[in-house]
Amino acid sequence: MSDDKCLRCGQCCYMPDAAGNMTATPCRYLRFNGDGTTFCAIYENRIGTRLAPNVVCGLRSRDRFDYEGCPYNTGAKPVYRVGRNGVRRIFTAGPPPDCH
């Protein structure tokens, strides 16, 4: 997967807690631009970097969550809105229920 579709929102760069739940704590390498976009301070060396005792930076395709508005979403994972102001689960994975 290339990074050409990345919106630089940073949602996938927030740290999980010890139980693996999303938090509003950004990775220590996530940097914020004035225009609302983000970037990784160690981008070229991020994959495989230990971020916490049980957290290693990995590929977005292997993330256990999807993120609001992300072009890399699979549609098969729970969707979250993540930011410094909090975490909100938007909806669960799978197709919407039949409304007929």
Q: Is the pLDDT of residue 33 over 60?
A: yes
pTM over 0.85: no
Q: Over the stretch 49-68, which tens digit does the pLDDT of each residue have?
A: 999 888 999 999 899 899 99
Which residues does 71 contact at the CB level (< 8 Å), separation at least 6?
Answer: 5, 6, 7
Mean pLDDT of 20-29: 93
Cα torsion 75, 76, 77, 79 to 10°: value is: 20
Average pLDDT of the chain, as a whole number: 89
